[in-house]
Structure 1
Amino acid sequence: MSVSLTGLSTNLSTLFSALGGSGSNATSASSLVSIAQGNISAATSGASSENPIVALQIAQRNQTQDIKAESLQPAVQRQIAAFTKAVKSATSVKQLLSNPTVLNVLLTANGLGSEAGFPALAQKALMSNPSDPNSLANQLSSTNSQWLSTAKTYQFATKGLAVIQQPSAISTITNGYAEVLWRQSLDAQTPGLSNALYLIQNAKNFTSAVQILGDSVMRSVVTTALGIPQQIAYQPLSAQEQAITNGLNISDFQKPQFVQTFADRYLAVEQSAAQSSASSSNNLAALAVKAQGLIA
């Protein structure tokens, strides 16, 4: 049984009156309804009614024009303009990477957006020498290979600003930034759609379980699609590799049709989990309200 948020809201005064309207009873009632409202609201927005496979097809078809549209959003344009100006005028790597806007755009474009809240770590990793096996970029690559990949791409340790100040590099970064923001916006309607697009674009670059485990997005997509519990992250690396290779012939990622099918499978699992979570939240909310006599 479930209850609509609208229906619940219209009965708030009745509930408070029935429970006394003051003192501890009123406080408990208010807290209960707040919790119920939050759960029902989350349940309502937690699972998209849109077919995720269709949503993926639409996103693929409209990708180029939609990314362009994203890049023209005023807020995005301001970030890109600030980034471009800072890169062109920078006189040292340290100065450049100390700029919060630069770091945010650069990390986001290179799949490290979640690390923008750790600027000191990011600066040290990006400025470390990827050729040194003991460098921070190499150390961090065991859990996220994007650190090493990004350090190799821009070569701050050995070439300073020479690479990132090239017009082609600036264009690649700003386009990548807009693309990531576009993908993130898709997840609001279809959970997992951003990851599915990443898989389709990058799967061919992964040839081993170790590579998959070292990429946060690929790790999430593959383990989710294969039904591997997240707790496996606490197991030895060899056990994690075995779990992946038991359910996946990684060489199949060289086949576009297989990759598309795997992306569809991932989205189906994601939607099923979202719907299950929404249903559970809805049921909990209904039970909580029923316990106070709102529902007969």
Structure 2
Amino acid sequence: MSININPAVASMLFANTSNTAGSIDFSFLTQSSSGTAASANVGSVKSALVNAEKNELRQLALTAKDPQIQKDLARYEKVVKNAKSIDDVLNDPVARKVLMTANGLKSDVDNIALAKKAMMSDPNDAKSVARRMSGINGAWLDFAKSYNLAEYGLDTLSPQQDGVAGRWKIQFERAGEPIEAMLEITKVRGGGYQATIDGVVTPVIVDANNNITLNSLWRDAADELRTSSFTGKLTKDGLSGTFTNDGETASAEWKAPAYFANALQTVRDNYIGEKRLDMLDAQMPGLGSAVLFKQSAKNMKDAVDILGSPLGREVVTTAFNIPKQIAVQSMAAQQKAITQRMDPAKLQNDHFVDQIAQRYL
């Protein structure tokens, strides 16, 4: 078998990263005697896999600079920041592609109706679309759990702050113990505000300059009910200030950045990561999938996990020559087809996973 490899990418994949005497020089893979792109034979598969992993940071940096990827991400961020509902995001082809690709759902990128129902699913509802689809692609349930749009709306895609109103991650230290909780502040009629900390109603006062005062109840080591008084203000980085505990004079600092402050960056990083894998696949068919399989294999505890992961299903069935047609059989029959050829428990072993990845390629 021969595989054509783009010279520029081949030099990245097969670069000799060591100057130690005796190390193998893979430069022959980038050029043929005629100066054209060289072909990699089966013997180079292991080296390609090793070097693809070794050069991950460089590959990610190059991928992030791709003009089309930058354009896609800019469009996604613009759409999400202006969206009123998940429909607004999914109705935009580019935003939909970015969000779904970043979350392992690119194979269903054109199935808008399914996406709308699954993404708004309650992850705790056994009858929800995301739950029912998890047997086909576990990424649907992963999305519902990670973003929980049913509960938080678009906040998990782009923080929905309005002055002090919004969801904040309040952070402070009390009695030497770090505390982190969700502070949710909402506007009410008459210009007032309501607040909860991890769902517990907390008295709050906000003045015209967005200065804030919170009084939170808590129990100390002796199970005595205490009060902490937080005062602070809104800054470009969120809420911050000082607090004191009743019966004490010393104060300490607290801060509260947007609870989902990393939402846009998470999608950005995941999208770039997925596009990097696509680029590896384009240079050596299956290479990106093999790299990702090695990273995620330990999350597949049994045959159900393998079958519920499009990646796991693809790599394992290919590596062990299991016909794709098993997909039309019962789940029990599909599980048997897997377990007759391999022990899923061995996916916790790096060497075994590496062997499967090489067999897949």
Counterpart check, 1:78 vs 2:71: yes
The answer on whether the counterparts of 1:128 and 1:157 sit within 8 Å (CA) in structure 2 is yes
1:121-270 equivalent positions in 2, closer than 5 A:
121-165=114-158, 166-267=260-361
* Residue 232 of structure 1: how far off its partner (Å): 1.6
Give the 3 Å change call, closer, same or farther, for CA 250–49 of structure 1 in structure 2.
closer
Q: Return the alpha-carbon distance in structure 1 between the equivalents of residues 79 and 46 of structure 2.
A: 40
What per-residue deviation string (whole Å, max 9, x for no partner) do you get for residues 190-243 of structure 1? 111121011111001010101111111100101111111112222221111111
**2:97 is the counterpart of 1:118:** no
CA contact (8 A) 2:79 2:88 kept: no
**1:167: how far off?**
3.3
- Following the alignment from structure 1 to structure 2, what is the Cα–Cα distance between the partners of residues 201 and 222? 14
Distance 1:231 1:46 in 2: 32
- 1:35-66 C-alpha deviation (Å, 9 max, x unpaired): xxxxxxxxxx9997782222111211111111
Give the secondary structure class of the aligned counterpart of 1:86.
helix
Aligned counterpart, 1:64: 57
8 A Cα contact 1:48 1:191, kept in partner: no
Q: For residue 52 of structure 1, what is the aligned residue in structure 2?
A: 45
What number of residue pairs does the alignment pair up? 224
Which stretches of structure 1, 4 residues or more, deviate above 4 A after TM superposition? 45-50
Unaligned runs of 5+ in 1: 1-44, 268-296
Aligned residues: CA RMSD: 2.2
| Structure 2 equivalent of residue 97 of structure 1 | 90
* Aligned-partner Cα distance in 2 for 1:71–1:155: 28
User: 5+ residue gaps in structure 2?
Assistant: 1-37, 159-259
- Higher normalized contact order (CA 8 Å, seq sep 6+, divided by chain length): 1
Distance 1:61 1:161, change over 3 A: same
Partner Cα distance (1:46, 1:207) in 2 = 37
Structure 1 residue 130: deviation in Å?
Answer: 1.8
- Distance in 2 (CA, whole Å) between partners of 1:94 and 1:85 is 15
Secondary structure at the counterpart of residue 154 of structure 2: coil
Q: In structure 2, give the amino acid aligned to 1:250.
A: P
Instruction: State whether residues 278 and 288 of structure 2, in contact with CA within 8 Å, keep that contact through their aligned partners in structure 1.
Output: yes
Percent identity reads 39
The TM-score with structure 2 as length reference comes to: 0.58
Q: Which has the larger radius of gyration?
A: 2
Structure 1 contact 48–190 (Cα < 8 Å) conserved? no
TM-superposed deviation, 1:132: 1.5
TM-score by length of 1: 0.70
Task: State the distance in 2 between where 1:208 and 1:122 align.
Answer: 27
Contact persistence 1:110–1:150 (CA under 8 A): yes
CA displacement, residues 46-92 of structure 1 (integer Å, 9 cap, x when unaligned): 99778222211121111111112111111110111111222233333
Structure 1 or 2: more helix by fraction: 1
Q: 1:250 to 1:84 in 2, by over 3 A?
A: same
Q: How far, CA to CA, are the matches of 1:198 and 1:187 in structure 2?
A: 11
